[in-house]
Amino acid sequence: MSETTQATGRTFTPPAELAAQANVGPEIYDEAARDRLSFWADAAHRLTWDREWDTVLDWSNPPFAKWFVGGRLNVAYNCVDRHVEAGHGEQVAYHWEGEPGDTRTLTYAQLKDEVCRAANALTELGVTAGDRVAIYLPMIPEAVVSMLACARIGAVHMVVFGGFSADALASRITDAGAQVVITADGGYRRGAPSALKPAVDDAVSRVEGVRHVLVVKRTEQDVEWDDSRDLWWHDVVGRQSAEHTCEFFDAEHPLYIMYTSGTTAKPKGILHTSGGYLTQVAYTHWATFDLKPDPDVYWTAADVGWVTGHSYIAYGPLANRATSVMYEGTPETPHRGRWFELIEKYRVTILYTAPTVIRTFMKWGEDVPAGFDLSSLRLLGSVGEPINPEAWLWYHEHIGGGRCPIMDTWWQTETGAHMLTPLPGVTTLQPGSAQHPFPGISAKVVDDEGNELGDDSTGLLVLTEPWPSMLRTIWGDDDRYVDTYWSRFGTDVYFAGDGAKKDADGNIWLLGRVDDVMNVSGHRISTTEVESSLVGHPTVAEAAVVGASDPTTGQGIVAFVILRGNAEAQGEGASGDELVQTLKTHVAKDIGPIAKPRQIMVVQELPKTRSGKIMRRLLRDIAENRELGDVTTLTDSSVMNMIKDKLPAAPSED
Ligand code: WT7
């Protein structure tokens, strides 16, 4: 962590040319500070409303906010139709590239036709406003088309990342009450087709209420088929009319649910609504990235199955009439220069990605990007975890050619859009820091009692005013919403769960989660979720999971397990490699490959406090091979020696 918060002594002023023509200048901070609500109202006016709102914000019942009360709009109309109506139908919305190298270009006019067909198809399948639709797709244009089709008819989409297991999909379908699932036979990952439909078959067989499964043909893999339920996308969507008159919905009409890990084993269904969400994603995308709809070619290199994809592959860029790149596969397929090849091919001007990818590129070496023409790039973005200054500088030099400012954007699934970030034409950049609240956002660093801290101090990050794209609740669980985010410091202070430091100049540096949530390659995974998966295996009696710092993924999952007395009897070879392998595979299957522990250690005891709480800090010290900290609150400090004795000489790293 120390490296993350260490100033490099180097700062970067905005490039003069960019500053001269930037979408927003320094005055924006004063404007927003003078009248926060009219600042957001102006941002909302960038959208097209069927009916103007009566009240910008209703915060009479905190923490339940209503933005743009009384306003009506259609999110899909704002993302697609209005650009076509304004004569931009021929502009490319997406340059899509499949992993095998196949391509598709979708103009705004074509996107509009596809979205209308899909909206008609969903209506034919009985989907109406307010119904939930699960989407489990690879990174193909149909993912965005499906989301927009839902938005167009007022249905609530619930996208599940294709890397999640059948179990994870099933529990999300049940929690959201989805009756229709949109999936594909498979998608391409790491040079091979990777099946999706079997996970859907498995999930759907275990839950109540799914009436239809709409299947996109992508890989042409063999699929099991249930005639009573399964339908091919190309049949049902293909035969629809491209005409569809959209209805307008209330600004607070639900737009989507996105599940994210909390501190318990049960993921939280984060609910986003329409008017405020679209206002803030569109405005931040335009201001943070200085997006110019015409010359720019914009690329968020992330999966649409995460909030980054929702806000900055789909809604923000489309609302701003951006031309985007969308890529199906992994960065090393078929070679390590694939991303750079795409930047060169499409003349990408703005690239937005995660620090974990940058660190992977660093490992592969600067020769890889040096082999491509990256001169089209003018601005870079980072998201998902703190970017360590070393990675920042490498990104700046070897991808950005020393000329592109980097926007380190701090936000969360819950916040919906950027909350802390520099601005490209304004901020003198400080590598490693997300720096300042976005205009119109109130963020503070506070101590444990909630007192605001001055410069040069460390504490917790809180948001002290509601913001347009904030989550509205946890789906079906208002109490959990209040408890999780608004109880620590009262119902008008949002506790983000991140530690933060304010430096002497007032820059904010994020220090990672302060709760039991890990951040692996920019993906949030709860320690409890992995622990409950491990104890779900018949050989495991107890498990403790920690996120240990990892040079590539930010954090890696390290598990300590105590076996049941019968583990040996089950023929698993007790503490042997074979059992460790079995357990890793078990978690990967249970939750998804992203949750597979990097390392599992079989131990006799776990360090606990007198109240029985597992002391993760000590386990983290072991996992990171640090000297042990204070152990005086342990029930039995000899436990630690026992654990240390059990450590394998060289931890297995597969
Ligand atoms: C958590 C939210 C936002 C979309 C991707 C992750 C961490 C995110 C940064 C950043 C430091 C960051 C925080 C946050 N995080 N961006 N620029 N600097 N930390 O969304 O899964 O909801 O995770 O990611 O810890 O709380 P998410």
Which domains, from first to last, does the chain contain? 69-330 (3.40.50.12780), 521-645 (3.30.300.30)
Ligand 1, residues 303, 414, 433, 519: which to mutate, most atoms within 8 A of Cβ? 519
Cα 308 to middle of ligand 1, angstroms: 10
From CA 258, how far away is CA 314, in angstroms rounded?
14
* Candidate from 3, 411, 441, 495 with most ligand 1 atoms within 8 A of CB, to mutate: 411
**At 568, is the pLDDT very low, low, confident or very high (cuts 50, 70, 90)?**
low
Q: At what angle do helices 197-206 and 166-176 cross, to 10 degrees?
A: 50
What confidence tens digit (pLDDT) does each residue in 167-205 have?
Answer: 999 999 999 999 999 999 999 999 999 999 999 999 999
Q: In what order do the strands lie in the sheet with 473-474?
A: 230-232, 212-216, 180-184, 132-136, 156-159, 254-260, 268-273, 473-474
State the helix-helix crossing angle for 577-590 and 527-535, rounded to 10 degrees: 120
C-alpha of residue 440 to centroid of ligand 1, in Å:
20
| Ligand 1: residue whose CA is nearest its atom 5 | 384
The predicted-structure confidence for 23-74, as pLDDT tens digits, reads as follows: 999 999 999 999 999 999 999 999 999 999 999 999 999 999 999 999 999 9
Question: What type of residue sits at position 372?
Answer: F
> pLDDT at position 654, please?
39
Report the pLDDT value the prediction gives residue 331, as an integer from 0 to 100. Answer: 94
Cα(349) to centroid of ligand 1, in Å? 24
| 260 touches ligand 1 (CB under 6 Å) | yes
pLDDT, tens digit (0-9, with 9 covering 90-100), for 237-268: 999 999 999 999 999 999 999 999 877 778 89
Identify the three-state secondary structure at position 368.
helix
Q: What percent of the chain has pLDDT over 70?
A: 92
- The answer to whether the CB of 422 is under 6 A from ligand 1 is no
d(CA 476, CA 483): 14
List the Cα angle 130/213/242 in 5-degree steps. Answer: 70
> Per-residue pLDDT averaged across 362-381, rounded?
96
CB 406, CB 381: distance < 8 Å? yes
pLDDT at 294: 87
How many Cβ atoms from other residues are within 10 Å of residue 109's Cβ? 17
Provide CB contacts within 8 A for 377, sequence distance 6+. 343, 348, 349, 350, 351, 399, 400, 401, 404
Q: Looking at the DSSP assignment, which residues form a beta bridge with residue 563?
A: 540
Q: Beta strands 92-97 and 103-107: pairing type? A: antiparallel
- The pLDDT of residue 634: 55
What residue's CA is closest to ligand 1, atom 12?
Answer: 385
pLDDT of residue 6: 65
Instruction: Please give the Cα distance from 337 to 331 (Å, whole number).
Output: 7
Asked if the model's pLDDT at residue 375 lies above 70, the reply is yes
Residue 509: is its pLDDT beyond 50? Answer: yes
Confidence check: pLDDT of 610 > 80: no
Query: Residue 527 — very low, low, confident or very high, per pLDDT cuts 50/70/90?
Result: confident
Check residue 647 and give its pLDDT: 59
pLDDT for residue 266: 84
Closest atom of ligand 1 to CA, residue 308: 4
What's the pLDDT score for residue 652? 39
Q: Return the amino acid letter for 636.
A: D
Q: Whose CA is nearest to atom 1 of ligand 1?
A: 412
